[in-house]
């Protein structure tokens, strides 16, 4: 290096950082030989903090403002004052700028489904994903625990670790919440706050905080979603017997419209032939009537039983009869079946009331 470049470097006395990458968390101010001049100006902008590391030890943290590095606890060094060291100062200082603004639109999600017990579906698996924001709240801790001597530390280098922490705490909070799967969409805000509070102590050890965590979606496995859609469609259809009749008539109408034109074309030619066969040589011939189609089989209901806040079932009518016999189903037991308006006592349900007639009623005064 020429003497001109060396001397010109000695008069660079403004230390500052402007970032246009939007993902850099820590940047080290590059100075020849890490030599900071006495009287240099340090500019720390809003959304930044400057951490001084002197001779390998963290010396001070500067918040936004303009500082003159003239105090005794700052390195007093200029290579022009150390001729005996050959223009090389034995004192080394580094300045790390830390971005303290929020890093947003960061993604998180569960790689594998979360196993839990749902009060309605039983054991099931759920997936979830969302977004979060993170910011540096303690630059000194963050530099000491995470960054080290990395002079260009980006958000990508720690986002994977934060995602793992979020997924771990979210799985624990979701399994312990007891919220039914069908009600989770209405509780995503509370789940996000719960998970953020659970993660906060861990992130504090890194000098970070999680200002926001959003749960965008919680989904069931595809097979369960398909079964749920089928169940919903059946509920919308209402009376199953009437629905089957409607679908059958709709299918027949569709087939008739497709064959109607072909039938119309052959009707004129075949009408005379049919009339001739119908009349016969000795008069009209009576055609046998087609047998009427049998009615659809009756739909057998299945029943759910509510006891002590727990729901069991479904049970067939035969199973309900056996429960009456062994005493696990009583007249006051609350039951429900498809199409029924809410829970009802078993003795008030027409289809179940006769099951209790084979057993004597409870004795008076019992």
pLDDT tens profile 292-305:
777 766 667 787 89
pLDDT computed for residue 46 by the predictor: 94
According to DSSP, residue 38 is labeled: T
pLDDT computed for residue 169 by the predictor: 87
3-class SS at 58? strand
DSSP assignment of 3-34 equals HHHHHHHHT--EE-----SS-EEEEEPP-GGG
Burial call 41-68: b when 16+ CB within 10 Å, e when fewer: ebbbeeebbbbbbbeeeeeebbeeeebe
Which residue ranges form the domains of the chain, and what is each CATH number?
3-99 (no CATH), 103-225 (3.30.479.30), 303-356 (3.30.1490)
pLDDT computed for residue 78 by the predictor: 36
Strands (E), 150-253: 152-154, 208-219
36 class by beta-carbon count within 10 Å (0-12 exposed, 13-18 middle, 19+ buried): buried
Q: Could you tell me how many helices (H) and strands (E) the chain has, helices first?
A: 8, 16
**Nearest-CA neighbor of 329 among 305, 310, 300, 362?**
305
Q: Work out the number of other CB atoms within 10 angstroms of the CB of residue 240.
A: 14
Query: Token pair for residue 338?
Result: 């498809």
- The sheet carrying 344-345 orders its strands as 310-315, 303-307, 334-336, 344-345
pLDDT computed for residue 99 by the predictor: 94
d(CA 211, CA 199): 11
Taking 50 as the pLDDT cut, the residues of the chain under it are: 1-12, 72-90, 262, 269, 271
β-pair type (122-136, 65-69) = unpaired
Query: Token pair for residue 322?
Result: 């056996």
d(CA 91, CA 164): 41
Answer whether 41's CB lies under 8 Å from 66's CB: yes
Query: Token pair for residue 162?
Result: 């934060």
Strands (E), 70-139: 93-99, 103-109, 114-118, 122-136
Please state the φ and ψ torsions of residue 87, each to the nearest 5 degrees.
Answer: 65, 20
pLDDT computed for residue 311 by the predictor: 85
Burial call 174-189: b when 16+ CB within 10 Å, e when fewer: beeeebebeebeeebe
d(CA 99, CA 119): 46
163-177 pLDDT, tens per residue?
Answer: 999 998 888 888 887
d(CA 209, CA 135): 6
Q: How far is CA 55 from CA 58, 227, 321, in A?
A: 8, 66, 85
pLDDT computed for residue 135 by the predictor: 94
């Amino acid at each position: 290096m020429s003497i001109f470049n060396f001397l010109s470097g000695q008069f660079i006395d403004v230390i500052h950082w402007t970032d246009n990458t939007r993902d850099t968390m820590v940047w080290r101010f590059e100075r020849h030989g890490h030599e900071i001049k006495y009287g240099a100006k340090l500019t720390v902008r809003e959304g930044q903090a400057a951490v001084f590391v002197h001779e390998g030890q963290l010396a001070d943290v500067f918040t936004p403002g303009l500082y003159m590095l003239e105090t005794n606890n700052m390195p007093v060094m200029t290579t022009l004052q150390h001729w005996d060291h050959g223009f090389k100062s034995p004192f080394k200082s580094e300045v790390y700028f830390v971005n303290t603004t929020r890093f947003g639109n960061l993604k998180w999600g569960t790689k594998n489904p979360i196993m839990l017990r749902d009060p309605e579906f039983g054991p099931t698996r759920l997936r979830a994903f969302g977004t979060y924001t993170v910011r540096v709240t303690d630059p000194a801790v963050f530099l000491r625990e995470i960054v080290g001597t990395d002079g260009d530390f980006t958000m990508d280098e720690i986002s994977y670790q934060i995602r793992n922490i979020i997924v771990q705490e979210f799985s624990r909070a979701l399994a312990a919440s007891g919220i039914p799967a069908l009600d989770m969409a209405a509780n995503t805000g509370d789940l996000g706050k719960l998970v953020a509070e659970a993660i906060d102590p861990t992130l504090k050890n890194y000098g970070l905080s999680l200002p926001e965590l959003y749960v965008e979606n919680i989904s069931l496995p595809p097979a369960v979603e398909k079964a749920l859609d089928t169940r919903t469609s059946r509920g919308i259809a209402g009376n199953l017997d009437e629905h089957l009749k409607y679908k059958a008539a709709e299918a027949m109408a569709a087939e008739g419209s497709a064959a109607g034109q072909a039938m119309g074309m052959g009707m004129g030619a075949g009408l005379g032939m049919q009339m001739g066969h119908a009349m016969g040589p000795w008069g009209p011939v009576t055609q046998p009537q087609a047998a009427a189609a049998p009615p659809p089989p009756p739909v057998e209901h299945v029943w759910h039983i509510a006891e002590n806040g727990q729901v069991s079932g479904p049970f067939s009518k035969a199973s309900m009869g056996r429960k009456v016999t062994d005493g696990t189903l009583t007249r006051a037991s609350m039951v429900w079946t498809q199409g029924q308006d809410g829970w009802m006592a078993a003795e008030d349900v027409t289809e179940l009331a006769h099951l209790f007639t084979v057993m004597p009623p409870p004795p008076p005064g019992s």
